[in-house]
Amino acid sequence: MAKPITDPPGFAEATIEEQIEYLTDLWDRISVDPDRIPVPQSHLDLALERLAAHRANPEDSLPAIVALQRILQRYR
């Protein structure tokens, strides 16, 4: 369970857009060194599982550009 956090000064009074911009800027600061960002074992396991499935049946996979086009079509 995550521990409660305290908002930085002025955060609660900021607009949603300003809060999102703050969080984006904060993430950009944290992600400068991606090797320091922990990856849950469950995410690694899922990536390995999907890679194994792709290697077993590569014909079932879509090229990335096709997958992205399908995603974009859903949200237009």
**DSSP string spanning 8-60?**
PTTTTTS-HHHHHHHHHHHHHHHTTSGGGS---HHHHHHHHHHHHHHHH-GGG
The structure tokens listed for 66 are 């096709």
pLDDT digits (tens, 9 = 90+) for 63-76: 999 999 999 999 88
Going from N- to C-terminal start, the domains of the chain cover 42-76
From CA 47, how far away is CA 55, in angstroms rounded? Answer: 12
pLDDT digits (tens, 9 = 90+) for 5-56: 899 999 999 999 999 999 999 999 999 999 999 999 999 999 999 999 999 9
Nearest CA-CA partner of 26 in 7, 44, 53, 54: 7
The whole-number pLDDT of residue 56 equals 97
